[in-house]
Structure 1
Amino acid sequence: MTASSTRLLPIAQRAGLRLAGWAQAVRPTLLAFVLALNAVLVGCAGLPANVQRPVSQARADVTDTHLAAIAAASLPAAADGQRSGLRLLPAGDHAFEARIALARAAQKSIDAQYYEIADDVSGRQFLRALADAAARGVRVRLLVDDLHAAGEDALLAGLAARPNVELRMFNPLAVRSGGVAQRVLRSVNEFSRINRRMHNKLFLADNQFAITGGRNVADEYFDRSGSDNFIDMDLLAAGPAVRALSDVFDGYWNSEHAYPIQSLVAESLTPEQARRHFDAAVQQSEVTDFPVTAKDLLGQTSLATQLATGRVELHVAAVRVLADAPSKADVDVQQLNDGAVMTGKLELVQSARNEVLLASPYFVPGRRTLDVLKQVTDSRVRVSVMTNSLATTDEPLVHAGYARYRTALLGMGVALFELMPGSNGDAKAAAVGERHGSLGRLHAKAAVVDGRWLYIGSMNMDRRSAHSNTEMGLIVDSPELAGQLASLLRGDRRPPAYEVRSANGGHGLQWIAKDGAESIVYAQEPNRRWGAQLRLSLVSAFVDEELL
């Protein structure tokens, strides 16, 4: 997959959008014929029955590990077992290095779950690090959402064929061959199931340190993609939050939706074939050669550097772990009820007394979120939203869904900012689509409330995240971390963005860009191409927001 292809918005949904458009635009008899033909093409493909899923839990015998000693040295006695140690990971290179450093330092266990692990340099280096840890005797449990794993069966099965490694796929598609879109289209007869995806991102080492947030494992999340990279955010944690996150992982790992990879590929691939494929794939993906800047945007040195000193610089704070239950992937779950993560995040926003800063790459608020934002703005709370512009989004259809809400949001007093495409700060060049260097796409899902509370996690502010995907996140009570995050979302550290304002008495919009001291006003949406916009408008008219 390329850096420009969809990451968060599942390709299952994109195929479903086309089907949803058909369902309202063609005769029912024709639709029935199409579905019947698809069923014939798929044949009798189905998930294996009577799958053996040995139940296991996070290891508790880890207090004698090196990472346990470092975690204890990094948490002051004042934490008193109630508060956790935390650190923001805003830089992609530092975020990747942190995962590798923890994998190398682990002595007893690594637990990881991801929506996507790409078959690229970063993905293979990450899997190589897990294999190396397993070779040292570390128990490795890896849980991967199946949607983006097209073509990776041999690679993942090869890792799972090694001693000390278990690998499970969440909510797998029965069709194992072909690309992602092909697998989805050939599985459309069970679209209501495969539309439910595990969007969580979590890495745990010796049950002592955890990394969670917005990043999947792929080059574009770690500033390694060249032309397109995601602007993202993770949080490193030690202390009680890690144990809570381990409990979340165990719930997913032991879920009936988690299938051992061997149960899905046993007929097509022997363990020896899988091992050979894995070795060949990762032999050139050495984990020892990846450049890391001396300090990140917050002036922090790399985690590997700090682990070597025996102490990690952390901010101590109370943490609340939010996680949807894996049962959210059940087809019979009522899809109109918000999950635990969306509910917790909206409750945080409702608690605001002064200011709310929100960042979400996909922002399609829906009625409930609109009501919450109206409530807080009516209480004179300042609300700012940062999201992608038409030029930086990787999901134009989702951007069209967001665009429907801009006038209403501005009318209630919400300040809207849309990320400008990379153009070395040249607003005029950005507005006409000229690019210089990498295109930054917002991918961070974050919030700051009253300069004290912050949220970081996997959840976008849209109906898909609320109702269909499983999500997780952390709410932290820390003025220090909230201040750091706020500085990254606004002020000098914020990427250049258009400010969207009302025009023509509230009947139109304008986009304001700063070009040095000059403000440039655009009466039309920058980078809009009318032909593409017309096609997008026609398609979006048939699409339910639950699918965005």
Structure 2
Amino acid sequence: MRLRLAFLVVFVCLLATGCASLPPARETAPVHAIEGTAATALGRIARDSLPSGDPSLSGFRLLPEAETAFNTRIALARRAQKSIDAQYYLIGNDNIGRQFLRELRDAAARGVRVRLIVDDLYTAGEDPLLTGLAAFPNVEVRLFNPLPSRSDWFAGRVLASLNDFDRIDHRMHNKLFIADGAFAVAGGRNMADAYFMQSTALNFIDFDVLGAGPIVHEMSKAFDLYWNSPHVWPIDVVAGTRPSAEARARFDALIAQAGERITERSLDVLGQTPVGDQLDAGRVALVPASAQLFVDSPDKVDANGTADKQTVTTQTLGVFAKARESVRIVSPYFIPGERGMAMMEAVHVQPGEESPITVITNSLGSTDEPLVYAEYAKYRMRMLKAGVRLYEIGPQLAPRSEHLGNFGHSEAGLHAKMATIDDRWVFIGSMNLDGRSAVKNTELGLVIDSPELVKPLRRLFHDGVVGGAYRLQLSPDGSRIEWQEHRADGRVIVHTQEPHDSAWQRIKFWLMLPLVNQNEL
């Protein structure tokens, strides 16, 4: 879910009757990650889970299944003894969001210091939850780049902030969870039902990774960079509240409606046992590897352009550019632009041969951002002519696959942001390959040097994509795009018309796309 404001422009003059403003900023003393957590239970388990011969190596475990990814965070929260640092673009006012906030409250009650950063775009109606959590001892909640209006109505908040559009158009898209400075979870998942297979309408294919070792120290430094940024405000300053018994009681009543932990399988799709069980046994099965953390400066949101130009996007594209054999990209919102097309077209292939580049993205039916899809669609023909292997997730196809998640009766959408390079490096993070991630939003990503992690990823996405996505191809005369659908019985259906297209969809694109700058998508 991302900010799409261009469609409001035509209504501004009619609807914007007044503009809100933020209260005066309050100076806060810098606060940093707690040192000396190696002696905690999680610190000892992390040490015992890493190779003893090379202290420079970190350890990683892939978290492809939603249920395991959520329960891993809960298992770490329940075992934390010193600190929890959490940073999210979106925390839903739903079952998953409330369970997560309840665990933070319970950890604080045990004396754990809890720091939570939430981007303020999608917090409409959540002030009782967030200010209530902040009212408990040992908890502090801060909002990134807050909107001045605290209205429960999302559109109303945006309209009341249009006088400050250049600022609020920049958002924090990072997702990070750190327990006792020992273990961390990063990736693409927000804290809401649809990202953990708990929605009845649409659930997202997504991906996280668990890390331990030196990389967690780097993540803690990245968290502190945001926590102490002037773009991050204490929620009580923004909302004009103070901690109180009433706020705590209101929070308790709200989270009482949340369910218990969601059920996960005894073995996930990669044959791994639950992280909680491994923590109880005193050792987590991690793959040792070196890794780089890419993180945008929080100053990237500065409309005056004072941020470091070395962004997560530029650094990740630099890794792609070094590929010698193959690049496989998974990006739900994929707009290559002329720079990306130049990179793909520079890979010379003979007529009829396939490029070593594979792209997996959303179809028109699975995307939750149709304007992004419409912009991406402009580049499909060129990508196919360059030999790129192009797949689009099918909203009804993906749930048939046993490899992409347990969707229940819902449809599927893609939200994972990942790539493999030369069967050696893995990228996992929050960054989409589009203009908004490149220019507007802050992002976080990991590049892990591990052929051992690439192998299960290749198998997972090959097995899942074959039955869960359309394979795009050129028509025999090369003038049109066709969509291959692979059925479970082995049949291959070729669609000559775009699946899930409609005349109304085309009219919307025709009306709205001319208003949208590509960097807004």
TM-score normalised by L of structure 2 = 0.94
Question: Is 1:196 the equivalent of 2:170?
Answer: yes
CA offset at residue 273 of structure 1? 2.9
The aligned counterpart of 2:296 is 324
Sort the Cα spacing of 1:130 and 1:537 in 2 relative to 1 into closer, same or farther, 3 A. Answer: same
Sort the Cα spacing of 1:226 and 1:495 in 2 relative to 1 into closer, same or farther, 3 A. Answer: farther
Question: Is 1:16 the equivalent of 2:31?
Answer: no
SS of structure 2 residue aligned to 1:541:
helix
The aligned counterpart of 1:347 is 318
Question: Is 1:533 the equivalent of 2:510?
Answer: no
Q: 1:424·1:436 contact (CA, 8 Å) conserved in 2? A: no
CA offset at residue 227 of structure 1? 2.5
The aligned counterpart of 1:274 is 247
Deviates more, 1:326-335 or 1:52-61: 326-335
Sort the Cα spacing of 1:34 and 1:448 in 2 relative to 1 into closer, same or farther, 3 A. Answer: same
Cα distance in structure 2, aligned partners of 1:196 and 1:443: 20
The aligned counterpart of 1:521 is 494
Amino acid at match of 1:530: A
Question: Is 1:297 the equivalent of 2:269?
Answer: yes
Question: Is 1:470 the equivalent of 2:442?
Answer: yes
SS of structure 2 residue aligned to 1:498:
strand
Cα distance in structure 1, aligned partners of 2:349 and 2:305: 34
CA offset at residue 224 of structure 1? 1.0
SS of structure 1 residue aligned to 2:200:
coil
Q: 1:423·1:436 contact (CA, 8 Å) conserved in 2? A: no
The aligned counterpart of 1:172 is 146
Sort the Cα spacing of 1:493 and 1:412 in 2 relative to 1 into closer, same or farther, 3 A. Answer: closer
Q: CA RMSD in A?
A: 2.1
The aligned counterpart of 1:372 is 343
Question: Is 1:408 the equivalent of 2:398?
Answer: no
Sort the Cα spacing of 1:48 and 1:339 in 2 relative to 1 into closer, same or farther, 3 A. Answer: farther
The aligned counterpart of 2:404 is none
Q: 1:423·1:437 contact (CA, 8 Å) conserved in 2? A: no
Sort the Cα spacing of 1:494 and 1:57 in 2 relative to 1 into closer, same or farther, 3 A. Answer: farther
SS of structure 2 residue aligned to 1:460:
coil
The aligned counterpart of 1:489 is 461
CA offset at residue 41 of structure 1? 2.1
Amino acid at match of 1:453: W
Cα distance in structure 1, aligned partners of 2:340 and 2:176: 26
CA offset at residue 334 of structure 1? 7.1
Cα distance in structure 1, aligned partners of 2:425 and 2:437: 21
2:13 to 26, 29, 34: 34
The aligned counterpart of 2:229 is 255
Q: 1:383·1:414 contact (CA, 8 Å) conserved in 2? A: yes
Sort the Cα spacing of 1:399 and 1:199 in 2 relative to 1 into closer, same or farther, 3 A. Answer: same
SS of structure 2 residue aligned to 1:148:
coil
1:219 to 181, 193, 196: 193
- Cα offsets for 1:260-315 (capped at 9, x unmatched): 00101225x6633321210111123354x421111111011111010000000000
SS of structure 1 residue aligned to 2:5:
helix
Q: 2:397·2:467 contact (CA, 8 Å) conserved in 1? A: no
Deviates more, 1:52-61 or 1:152-161: 52-61
SS of structure 2 residue aligned to 1:141:
strand
SS of structure 1 residue aligned to 2:238:
helix
The aligned counterpart of 1:62 is 37
Cα distance in structure 2, aligned partners of 1:534 and 1:265: 40
Identity of matched residues, %: 46
Question: Is 1:500 the equivalent of 2:479?
Answer: no
Q: 1:393·1:399 contact (CA, 8 Å) conserved in 2? A: yes
Cα distance in structure 2, aligned partners of 1:85 and 1:177: 43
Written as runs of structure 1 = structure 2, the 5 A alignment for 1:130-209 is 130-209=104-183
SS of structure 2 residue aligned to 1:63:
helix
Cα distance in structure 2, aligned partners of 1:355 and 1:88: 21
- Cα offsets for 1:396-451 (capped at 9, x unmatched): 11110110110111121211100112258889xxxxxxx98221111000001111
1:90 to 45, 64, 74: 64
1:48 to 6, 20, 23: 23
Sort the Cα spacing of 1:56 and 1:50 in 2 relative to 1 into closer, same or farther, 3 A. Answer: same
The aligned counterpart of 1:27 is none
CA offset at residue 376 of structure 1? 3.7
SS of structure 1 residue aligned to 2:39:
coil
The aligned counterpart of 1:432 is none
CA offset at residue 76 of structure 1? 1.4
SS of structure 2 residue aligned to 1:226:
coil
Q: 2:205·2:412 contact (CA, 8 Å) conserved in 1? A: yes
- Where do 5+ consecutive residues of structure 1 fail to align? 1-6, 23-30, 428-434
- Where do 5+ consecutive residues of structure 2 fail to align? 402-406
Cα distance in structure 2, aligned partners of 1:156 and 1:346: 36
Cα distance in structure 2, aligned partners of 1:155 and 1:222: 20
CA offset at residue 537 of structure 1? 2.3
Sort the Cα spacing of 1:334 and 1:135 in 2 relative to 1 into closer, same or farther, 3 A. Answer: closer
Cα distance in structure 1, aligned partners of 2:399 and 2:240: 53
Cα distance in structure 2, aligned partners of 1:300 and 1:436: 22
TM-score normalised by L of structure 1 = 0.89
- Cα offsets for 1:446-472 (capped at 9, x unmatched): 001111111000000101000000000
- Cα offsets for 1:231-258 (capped at 9, x unmatched): 0000000000000000000000000000
Q: 2:68·2:275 contact (CA, 8 Å) conserved in 1? A: yes
Cα distance in structure 2, aligned partners of 1:423 and 1:443: 16
Cα distance in structure 2, aligned partners of 1:121 and 1:236: 23
Cα distance in structure 1, aligned partners of 2:235 and 2:108: 17
Amino acid at match of 2:511: L
Cα distance in structure 2, aligned partners of 1:492 and 1:228: 18
Cα distance in structure 2, aligned partners of 1:403 and 1:214: 23
SS of structure 1 residue aligned to 2:346:
helix
Q: 1:354·1:381 contact (CA, 8 Å) conserved in 2? A: no
Cα distance in structure 1, aligned partners of 2:428 and 2:215: 13
CA offset at residue 508 of structure 1? 1.5
SS of structure 2 residue aligned to 1:327:
helix
Amino acid at match of 1:396: P
1:228 to 182, 191, 202: 202
The aligned counterpart of 1:358 is 329
Cα distance in structure 1, aligned partners of 2:400 and 2:135: 52
Sort the Cα spacing of 1:270 and 1:132 in 2 relative to 1 into closer, same or farther, 3 A. Answer: closer
Amino acid at match of 1:75: L
Sort the Cα spacing of 1:361 and 1:338 in 2 relative to 1 into closer, same or farther, 3 A. Answer: farther
Deviates more, 1:409-418 or 1:308-317: 409-418
Task: Provide runs of 4+ in structure 1 moved above 3 Å.
Answer: 376-381, 423-427, 491-495
CA offset at residue 544 of structure 1? 1.4
Q: 2:84·2:177 contact (CA, 8 Å) conserved in 1? A: yes
Q: 1:110·1:204 contact (CA, 8 Å) conserved in 2? A: yes
Written as runs of structure 1 = structure 2, the 5 A alignment for 1:116-127 is 116-127=90-101
Q: 1:501·1:512 contact (CA, 8 Å) conserved in 2? A: yes
